[in-house]
Amino acid sequence: MNKNITVGFVTQKLRKEFESLRQGVFEDARLYDAIDNATDELKKDPTCGTRIKKSQWPKEYITKYAITNLWKYDLPNAWRLIYTIETDEITIMSIVLKWINHDKYERKFKY
């Protein structure tokens, strides 16, 4: 039996931030489209991003979200979509935790 694959946002607040990008300035609308396309790709293959080494996980993600895996999906203009994957017998769910620009990504993930 094939599992149902879904994508969600870790909080309703993050979902609203994502939706507000659509109405923003040109750059925000482009970021909205890129994240929307990324979620479509994650629905096809949750592992299409790059797995982040456990040694690089920010401690706040471990304590706040109790993650057991962490992934990044490269977006245009050096943005990164950070997500985790959860699964049970029926569903595989990619959970969007954050999107950040390249500079913040490098600092947060110790590059």
Split at pLDDT 50, 70, 90, the class of 1 is: low
Q: Tell whether the model's pLDDT for residue 111 goes beyond 80.
A: no
Distance (Å, rounded) from C-alpha 92 to C-alpha 45? 10
Mean pLDDT of the chain: 95
- pLDDT score for 16: 97
71 burial (CB, 10 Å; 0-12 / 13-18 / 19+) is buried
Residue 6, C-beta contacts closer than 8 angstroms, at least 6 positions apart: 43, 91, 92, 93, 94
Instruction: Say if residue 2's pLDDT is above 70.
Output: yes
Q: What number is the average pLDDT over the span 20-45?
A: 96
Per-residue pLDDT band for 110 (boundaries 50, 70, 90) equals confident
Mean pLDDT of all residues in 43-72: 96
Q: Given this structure, which CATH class describes domain 4-108?
A: alpha beta
Q: Which residues of 77-89 are buried (b: 16+ CB within 10 A; e: fewer)?
A: eebbbbbbbbeee
Q: What is the pLDDT of residues 91-105, one digit of tens each?
A: 999 999 999 999 999
Q: What is the pTM of this model?
A: 0.93
pLDDT for position 25: 92
In the chain, where the domains are located:
4-108
